[in-house]
Amino acid sequence: MSDTEEISAPDGATAQRLVKEFEAVTNTDEIMAQFYLQENDWDLSRALNIFFASKCEKAETSSAQATPVTGPTVQEAITTGMLSTQAPSSLVMVTWNIDGLDQHNLKRRTRAVVKTLQEKAVDIVFLQEVIPETFSYLESKLPNYDCFAAKQENYFVATLLRRGRVYMDKTKVVDFPGSRMYRHLLAVQAHCGSVQMDLLNTHLESTAEHAEERKKQLEQCLGVMTRRPPGNTVIFGGDLNMRDKEVTSVGGLPGGVKDVWEEMGSKKEVQYTWDLQRNSNLEWPGKWKPRCRFDRVYLRQSEDRSVKPVRFGLVGLEKVEGSQAFPSDHWGIKVDLELRQQGEQGTSKKRKVEELD
């Protein structure tokens, strides 16, 4: 690059997005990203090519006999979804109670969860009943995800975001003061291009005996949804252990908050997420087997309606290879989202990250 060459730097929002994408693909930090981008006139493709070429040269120099290991090419990164030359127009979300408290076939079952997330190319992942051992395994097997655990002990919820697709801005854990089961809410503020999102992942109090506490927790979470800025899309989901009558008893869903299963047509074949008539992981005495819609996804649109659910399905329906167990006693929910990005590159408005109250 010539010392006398005039460089047209992008606006702050675009520069930050390019820095984040460079970091995600190369697994480097902000300083390294800024260096390569500035040296290459903020041309992301050229900066990535030069970075990986430099890595190859260093590997060859350090050991003539060693086989150099290179990072993905730009085309490979684009193909796998790690890098997009444009902000994504769609995302895939999964919420799943992966039953980490059951030690039976735990490693095999967790491996099956990882395989499902990879095969479905899931961008936003809400997991419940995660334990420290399981979380460490997920982090090691899913290097292209940013993984956020609500806690470090007992069991907890965790949210995963696919790098290069969804970017975390801020996280916060809200404990439920009346819980006797260590339950909490993990709130992740994130963005995908111009689309700002609040991702609320939780596991509400279990069993019929704790319905009153569960309803208090639900009201607390719905309150968080309604108080978020109108420019944000709010997605609230997880293992809510919810019964329809409990939603009714708290006054129903607030205005603007939609049950995604209902929005997608209330299809019976994808209604039950804890279905002992189909899922044999748990033994249940007697002939009658319960079927419940414990797991749910609620959506509050932003004022510009930038996110639209287009498909609702279930995952985890196949038994784990080499066993008679399913990945979990719950089916996971998979939601396909359609995004409408605002503006052209370089004209996106500055993001404002507001404190969660």
Residues belonging to the active site: 239
Q: Tokens 């019976």 — which residue? A: 268
74 token code pair: 């730009």
Separation of alpha carbons 306 and 298, rounded Å: 16
Would residue 2 be called left, alpha or beta, if left means φ above 0 and alpha means ψ between -120 and 50 degrees?
beta
Strand ranges inside the chain, DSSP E: 90-97, 124-130, 145-149, 156-162, 167-175, 184-192, 195-203, 233-239, 257-259, 274-275, 291-292, 295-300, 307-315, 332-339
Query: Closest by alpha carbon to 346, among 1, 35, 86, 83?
Result: 86
Cβ atoms of 238 and 128 closer than 8 Å: yes
Distance of CA 179 to the CA centre of its chain: 25
Helix pair 30-39, 12-26: axis angle to 10 deg: 110
Cβ atoms of 157 and 186 closer than 8 Å: yes
Cβ atoms within 10 Å, residue 350 = 8
Residue 179 burial by CB count (10 A; 0-12/13-18/19+): exposed, middle or buried? middle
Cβ atoms within 10 Å, residue 5 = 7
Separation of alpha carbons 317 and 333, rounded Å: 11
